[in-house]
Amino acid sequence: MAYVTHAQAGSQSRTENPKALWSSLTSRFIAYRNYRRTLSELRTLSARELSDLGLNRSMLKRVAMEAAYDA
């Protein structure tokens, strides 16, 4: 049989606090939009321009991810 030895009160998850949930969703959407915009702009560059930047096509998603999410 299990017993509760410690119960923590007062902590709210993001789903219980509408402002925190909205803020989280907004920041995630902005980051995703920045990722898509960066990726789109990188994809418009020619192979020569990418080479000048030290990039190749296989690196574009990672570079856009790092730019948008600071990963």
pLDDT at 60: 97
pLDDT in tens, the chain (71 residues): 666 666 666 555 656 788 999 999 999 999 999 999 999 999 999 999 999 999 999 999 999 999 999 86
pTM over 0.85: no
Place of tokens 């990963």: 71
9 lies in some domain: no
Of 71, 59, 67, the C-alpha closest to 36 is 67
pLDDT at 55: 96
43 lies in some domain: yes
Answer yes or no: are the C-beta atoms of 63 and 40 closer than 8 Å: no
**Distance between CA 36 and CA 65 in Å, rounded?**
9
13 lies in some domain: no
4 lies in some domain: no
59 lies in some domain: yes
60 token code pair: 């574009």
**Distance between CA 46 and CA 32 in Å, rounded?**
24
Domain count, the chain: 1
